[in-house]
Amino acid sequence: MRVLIPKEETAIIDDPSLTHRPELKYKDLINENSQKKFRNYEDNLQTLNVMNTYQQMHANQTVAFGIEKRKKWLKFDHAEMTILEAVNLLDNLVDSSDPDIDLPNSMHAFQTAEKIREIHPDKDWFQLTGLIHDLGKVMALWGEPQWCVVGDTFPVGCQFQPTCVFYKYFEENPDWNHPEYSTPNGIYKENCGLDQVMMSWGHDEYLYQVLKHNKATLPEEALNMIRYHSFYPYHASDSYKNLCNEKDALMLPWIQEFNLFDLYTKSDKLLDPKALQPYYQSLVDKYIPGFLKW
Ligand SMILES: [Fe+2]
Ligand SMILES: [Fe+2]
């Protein structure tokens, strides 16, 4: 049966990956383009919200939690809907950090896609990746808390790295002192490849799994951009290279380029999603057609 109505009509969600970026790699870019001041470590409400999200995330994202979430979400029994229906659902997410509450959340999807289209007019799969990359956030509409939907991601089952934002909160994680999970390689073989590694649960991993389950024909580069775009300690701080293989090395520049579009386009001009819909529908029809199981 086709289920489109999520449990919650709206959910409040701010992606702290976009609001709190201490890495030097993207720093100049953010300062140039951001009008938001809370990316500095100002002691204001937004900073407290970001800290609170990471405190809960780092205390609760364990190996056992990751297994439990995969059992729940990888049944794909929450909804049957098309990609563009999911894009529209993003508008039910209320970004409380955004002073302009009338701005629909799908605007970020179209802005990212259109900027990629401008720079890469020949890469339709890259443009579509920009449009869909945050669709995993719809989990929040089924009641998932913010700290396991948005924010930076990291591997579980191995030592947490100090390059993760708010690293100190990992001390509250039950895996912190675990004999197997607290070594650099943890439960993984050296250079096993990131696809062998269990990431913390969030919107990146969920959408990747939805696309695989529904047999999307997007190239590997696109799937990697989606799966690791919030993995900042890796693509912005060069950590966790001990878990990577040659394929990951080939994919990393794509993830990094994608990230510039994800961060850069937030303050761009407003677009008309209705006018853009037919073009993106043609890309959806090419790579991820029909009703998907979510
Ligand atoms: Fe994201
Ligand atoms: Fe995004």
Average pLDDT along the chain: 89
106 or 9, greater pLDDT = 106
Answer whether 26's CB lies under 8 Å from 263's CB. yes
Cβ within 8 Å of residue 50, ≥6 positions away = 14, 16, 19, 20, 38
Ligand 2 centroid to Cα of residue 262, in Å, is: 5
Distance from residue 44's CA to the centre of ligand 1 (Å): 23
Per-residue pLDDT band at 28 (split at 50, 70, 90): low
* Ligand 2 centroid, distance to 150 Cα (angstroms): 10
Cα 203 to ligand 2 centre (Å):
10
Q: Closest-lying ligand to the alpha carbon of 130? A: 2
The CA 230 to ligand 1 mean position distance, Å, reads 6
Q: Outline where the chain has alpha helix (H).
A: 16-19, 27-33, 45-60, 63-73, 83-89, 106-119, 124-132, 203-213, 220-228, 232-235, 246-264, 273-287
What is the tens place of the pLDDT at every residue in 225-259?
Answer: 999 999 999 999 999 999 999 999 999 999 999 99
240 Cα–ligand 1 center, Å:
20
**In angstroms, what is the span from residue 13 Cα to ligand 1's centroid?**
12
From the CA of 229, the nearest ligand is 1
What global pTM score does this model have?
0.91
User: 179 C-alpha to center of ligand 1: Å?
Assistant: 32
**Pair of tokens at residue 48:** 């407290």
pLDDT in tens, 89-99: 999 987 665 54
